[in-house]
Amino acid sequence: MMRRAITNFGTWSAHPAAFAIVLVYGALWLIFEPHTFDWHGIATLATWTMTLFIQRAEHRDTQAMHAKLDELLHVHGKARNALTGLDDREPEEIEHFRKEARAGDNP
């Protein structure tokens, strides 16, 4: 359950609304602690914003790759349908599946 929550949090943090949270945080910082908002504060907000940009781009690329792979799996007649839902599983389950698939390829 905790892993699912962490995965969902990662997905939510790639949402555009996360940028609004940074703006609200910065505004509240300026309102309640303006004397501490200096160059270090600006660097903190800039780092947070850049992290969100990077995570958003990575999430977009990952989703595009999954969509392309799903399409290839649907088109290929010998592909197992179970593979299309593999991205909904936990990372450990996916790694176990990959090990089994590699073991099945080696005679």
What are the DSSP calls for 18-59, one per residue?
HHHHHHHHHHHHHHH-GGG-SHHHHHHHHHHHHHHHHHHHHH
pTM: 0.63
Question: Measuring CA to CA, how many Å separate 46 from each of 22, 26, 50, 87, 106?
Answer: 9, 10, 6, 32, 49
| 84 or 107, greater pLDDT | 84
The pLDDT value given to residue 106:
57
Which of 20-24, 53-57, 88-92 tops mean pLDDT? 20-24
pLDDT digits (tens, 9 = 90+) for 28-79: 999 999 999 999 999 999 999 999 888 888 878 888 887 887 777 777 767 6
Q: Is pLDDT at 7 greater than 80 in this prediction?
A: no
The pair phi, psi for residue 23, each rounded to 5°, is -65, -45
| Mean per-residue pLDDT over the chain, rounded | 81
pLDDT band at 105 (very low <50, low <70, confident <90, very high): low
The Cα 82–Cα 107 span in angstroms is 23
Q: What percent of the chain has pLDDT over 90?
A: 27
